[in-house]
C-alpha cells in the first residue's frame, strides 16, 4: 500500500480530483489518501495558503498528487507551487507532451519531454525597486543559476533519457546574450553530455528552439532548460498536443515528488461539472510510474487515450457541444481499464 498526500485544490480542483482518484483506484493499486488543504481553501480554514498540516503530510509521505490552486492576490501571500518546490527542493519539473489521437490539432507526431529547472533562475524571487524622488523609477530581478543546480537538472535529464529509452537531449539556453547565467548552463550541459555517450546531445538558443518546435516538433526528444524558459516552452509543447487540459507535470526532488495538473483552477466553470479531468488523471499515471506501479500506469494511459480517440465521452473543451460531464468522462476511462 502507498501513502499519498492528496491536495484537492481550488475551483475545479475538487471535481477533477474525485475523477482522478476513481481512475487510479480502478487500476487495483491500493493507496491511502491523506487529504490536505492548500490555496484558497486553506486560507479560509487556516489563514495560510500552505498550512503546516499540509507541509507535514507531504514531508511524511514523500509523494503528493495536487490539483490546481489559486494563490490569493495581495496580502503578501506566496505562491504555493513555488513554496512547495523550494521547501522540498523539487528541482526537476518534468512535462511530457505526447500527441493524442482524436484531438483537433495539426500535429500527430509530438513526443517530447520538457525538463525544467524548478528552483533557481528568475523564479528565485530576488527582486527590488530602485527609488528616486519618492517613486519607483526602475525594477531589478536577479537570476540565480548555480553550478550545482545546473548539474542536477541536466544530469537528471540525461539519466531520464537513458532510463526511458530516449535518444537525444537538447540543452536550451540564451548563452549568446546572457553570457553568465545561460553561459554557465550551457557549459555544464556540455560537461554532463560527455558522461552519456549513448545519448545524442545538441544545444539550441531558446527563441530558435521555440520556432523549430512549431515548425517540426518531432525533431525534439528531451529538452532541458532553466526555470523561465522551461515554463514557457512546456506550455508551448502543451499547445502542440491540445492544450493544458491534457498535460500533466511532475516535480521531482531527491527525497520527494509532487504530481499535478498544470492548468489553472478555472473558477469560471467550477461547480458546473464540465472540467476536463485528463491532466490530473495523467498526473496520477506519472505518480504510479514513480511508485513503481508501471502496469497500472500503462492501463491509465491506454484508457485515457482510447476514450479521447473515440470522442464519445469527452468534455466540451475536447468536443464542442458535448454534454459529457467530468464524472461521465471518468466513468468512461474507468470502463476502459483492463
CB 247 within 8 A of CB 263: yes
Q: Which of 66, 174, 299, 336 is catalytic?
A: 174
Take residue 136 and report the three cell numbers written for it.
519607483
* DSSP 8-state secondary structure symbol assigned to residue 106: S
Q: Which of 123, 160, 289, 328 is catalytic?
A: 123
CA angle at 237 for the pair 234 and 243, rounded to the nearest 5°:
100
Q: Which of 207, 216, 254, 272 is catalytic?
A: 207
Helix (H) or strand (E) holding 248: strand 248-252
Q: Is 111 a catalytic residue?
A: no
Q: Is 319 a catalytic residue?
A: no
Q: Is 317 a catalytic residue?
A: no
Give, in order, the Cα–Cα distances in Å from 162 to each of 166, 195, 227, 255, 290: 6, 11, 23, 21, 16
Q: Which of 34, 231, 289, 328 is catalytic?
A: 231
Residue 48 to residue 285: CA distance in whole angstroms: 30
Q: Is 10 a catalytic residue?
A: no
CA 83 to chain centre: 15
- In the three-class reduction of DSSP (H, G, I as helix; E, B as strand; rest coil), residue 127 is classed as strand
By annotation, the residues acting in catalysis are: 123, 174, 207, 231
Amino acid at each position: 500500500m502507498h501513502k499519498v498526500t492528496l491536495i484537492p485544490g481550488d475551483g475545479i480542483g475538487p471535481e477533477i480530483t474525485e475523477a482522478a482518484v476513481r481512475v487510479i483506484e480502478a487500476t487495483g493499486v491500493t493507496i491511502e489518501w491523506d487529504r490536505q488543504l492548500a490555496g484558497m481553501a486553506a486560507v479560509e480554514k487556516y489563514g495560510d495558503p500552505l498550512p503546516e498540516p499540509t507541509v507535514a503530510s507531504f514531508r511524511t509521505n514523500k509523494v503528493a498528487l495536487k490539483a490546481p490552486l489559486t494563490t490569493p492576490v495581495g496580502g503578501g501571500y506566496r505562491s504555493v507551487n513555488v513554496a512547495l518546490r523550494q521547501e522540498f527542493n523539487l528541482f526537476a519539473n518534468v512535462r511530457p507532451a505526447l500527441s493524442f489521437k482524436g484531438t483537433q490539432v495539426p500535429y500527430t507526431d509530438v513526443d517530447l519531454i520538457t525538463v525544467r529547472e524548478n528552483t533557481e533562475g528568475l523564479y528565485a524571487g530576488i527582486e527590488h525597486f530602485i527609488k528616486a524622488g519618492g517613486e519607483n523609477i526602475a525594477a531589478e530581478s536577479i537570476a540565480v543559476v548555480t553550478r550545482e543546480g545546473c548539474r542536477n537538472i541536466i544530469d537528471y535529464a540525461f539519466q531520464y533519457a537513458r532510463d526511458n529509452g530516449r535518444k537525444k537531449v537538447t540543452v536550451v539556453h540564451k548563452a549568446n546574450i546572457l553570457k553568465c547565467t545561460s553561459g554557465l548552463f550551457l557549459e555544464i550541459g556540455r560537461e554532463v553530455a560527455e558522461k552519456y555517450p549513448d545519448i545524442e546531445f545538441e544545444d539550441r538558443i531558446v527563441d530558435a528552439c521555440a520556432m523549430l518546435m512549431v515548425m517540426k516538433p518531432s525533431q525534439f526528444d528531451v529538452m532541458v532548460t532553466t526555470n523561465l524558459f522551461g515554463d514557457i516552452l512546456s506550455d508551448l509543447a502543451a499547445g502542440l498536443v491540445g492544450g493544458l487540459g491534457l498535460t500533466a507535470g511532475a516535480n521531482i526532488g531527491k527525497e520527494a515528488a509532487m504530481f499535478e495538473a498544470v492548468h489553472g483552477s478555472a473558477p469560471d466553470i467550477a461547480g458546473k461539472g464540465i472540467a476536463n479531468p485528463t491532466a490530473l488523471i495523467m498526473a496520477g499515471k506519472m505518480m504510479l510510474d514513480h511508485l513503481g506501479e508501471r502496469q497500472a500506469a500503462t492501463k491509465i494511459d491506454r484508457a485515457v487515450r482510447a476514450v479521447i480517440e473515440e470522442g464519445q465521452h469527452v468534455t466540451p473543451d475536447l468536443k464542442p457541444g458535448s454534454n459529457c460531464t467530468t464524472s461521465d468522462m471518468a466513468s468512461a476511462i474507468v470502463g476502459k481499464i483492463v
